[in-house]
Amino acid sequence: MYSDGKPRKLSVEASEMDALAEAWTAYKADLLASVEAEKQRLISVLEEATKLAEVIGGSIFPVGDSKNVFYDLTFPPCQQWCHCSMTYAHIDLIVERLQNIHADIEREQYMEHHYIGGD
C-alpha cells in the first residue's frame, strides 16, 4: 500500500480479515443472484414483447451478440404501425412502445364503439 508515494505498512487483525472475507463472499453471492434475476427478468420481458408485437403484426430481432439486450422492432412497410419501428433499442423500451401502441388501439376501439355509431 502506498501513501504520498511512499510504501506504508498495513496490519490487519485476523478477526478483521475474517469479517472482510465473509463480507466479500456475501457480496459475490448477492451479485451472482442479482445477475441471474436480471437474466430471468429480461427473458420474461422479451417473451412479453414478442407476444405484444405479434398481435399487431410486428417482429422482434436480436441485435449484436447473445449477451446484448438490444433488439430491432419492425413492422411491415405500409402497415399501420410501421412508423413505430425501433432499431437497436433496449428491450424495456420496446415493451413500453408496444404497450403504448396497444393502449392506442384500445382507445381507438373504445371511441369507435361509443362515439362513432357504436351501440
24 domain-assigned: yes
31 domain-assigned: yes
Amino acid, res. 104: D
Confidence of residue 118 (pLDDT cuts 50, 70, 90): low
**Cα(52)–Cα(73) distance, integer angstroms:** 11
The boundaries of the domain holding residue 50 are 13-115
Q: Give the predicted TM-score (pTM) of the model.
A: 0.70
1 domain-assigned: no
Please check whether residue 102 is in contact with residue 118, taking contact to mean a CB–CB distance below 8 angstroms: no
4 domain-assigned: no
For the stretch 14-58, pLDDT in tens is 898 999 999 999 999 999 999 999 999 989 999 999 999 999 889
5 domain-assigned: no
6 domain-assigned: no
3 domain-assigned: no
76 domain-assigned: yes
